[in-house]
Copies of this chain bind each other. A is one copy, B any other.
Amino acid sequence: MEAARPEVAHNNSTERQEGGLRFSFLGPRGTFCHAAVLQVANDMDQLIPAIDVPSALRMVRNGDVDYAVVPIENSVEGGVNATLDSLTYHGRLEIKAEMLVPITFALAARPGTQLKDVKRIATHPHAWAQCRGWIAEHLNDAIHIPATSTAAGAQILASTADNPGFDAALCPVPSAIEYGLTVLSDAVADNPNAVTRFIMCSLPGPQPERTGADKTTLMVQLPSDEAGALLTMLEQFSVRGVNLSRIESRPIGDALGRYAFSIDAEGHVEDERMQAVLVGLHRVCPHVDFLGSYPAANGKRVRPRPGTSDADFVAGRAWVRHLLGKS
């Protein structure tokens, strides 16, 4: 689950401490996103919590940080729309790494509170959605108090003297401990396999080296709104033997029924077959955003289908050049 520390050429436009990098992340401290950034940052680096995903990404665009770490996909809730949409708006960013974080919540309260006293629970709506079953079983009549993050409720419980309007918070275990709260349960989760995928983004630049177990992320607008446009787009991948590991529609936003697709494809932009896919998409789609090639966190190696290896493409081009009398 550990992503290799990124090898980053120091970006001169960014002022920073000797030897360290700057990371923005979806704050506050103590969230799962904080756990994600710790997979790639080290002690020399500076971690800066952001109020929301667009803010974290804006810091990269402004040169305030080298990287932003934000969630992109949750195994229960699906794609994180704010991230999918924000990567391409106001200046394209590129993904340089992905990190997986298992999702389990603590039910945390002020010392002295007992489980039976919990009537109102603060947490982020996504967290609430992932714990509804557990709550229904153990705290049948508890009410959800929305918070801006999974850690915010814990922070308020710890820092406010007066009544915060709720009795407990659903938060990551480390944040409960950090804030000195009592953990009433440390395994609140409807799905014990829940995991969230985070990405580390930077300004466009050199891609991480090809490892053989890579992903390429794209945002592709469909050729047209007519029938078969999605099939036409998907054929650009299938005819070159490139598999998709994720595809999500996103409204283009100007009207109902107009979509772009956020796609993770298996392979690296340095793979010949991926380059052929990109040329094909560029030809037939009105807009394609390249959002980076990076090592897959699950380490799953791509096995090219017969006829789709780099050598196959090189041999095919050499043959055509020969037919043209150019070699």
Contact = CB atoms under 8 A, between A and B. Distances in A.
Interface in A222-246: 223, 226-228, 230-231, 234-236, 238-239, 241, 243-246
A256 interface: yes
A220 interface: no
How many monomers of this chain does the complex have?
A: 4
Nearest to A251: B78
B78 A81 contact: yes
Given A129-B82, A146-B146, A146-B147, A257 B282 contact: no
A323 B256 contact: no
Majority SS at the chain A contact face: mixed
Q: Which of the listed residues A244, A246, A248, A283 has the most CB atoms from chain B within 10 Å of its own CB?
A: A283
A270 interface: yes
A253 interface: yes
A236 B239 contact: yes
Given A144-B148, A245-B257, A246-B257, A282 B230 contact: no
Contacts of A132: 54
Contact of A323 (B144, B191, B290, B317): B290
A10 to B, nearest CB: 17
Pick the 6 closest A-B CB pairs, nearest first. A279-B316, A282-B316, A227-B243, A283-B307, A284-B307, A283-B312
12 contacts: A75-B251, A75-B255, A77-B251, A146-B147, A195-B255, A227-B241, A227-B305, A231-B238, A256-B298, A278-B316, A279-B317, A283-B315
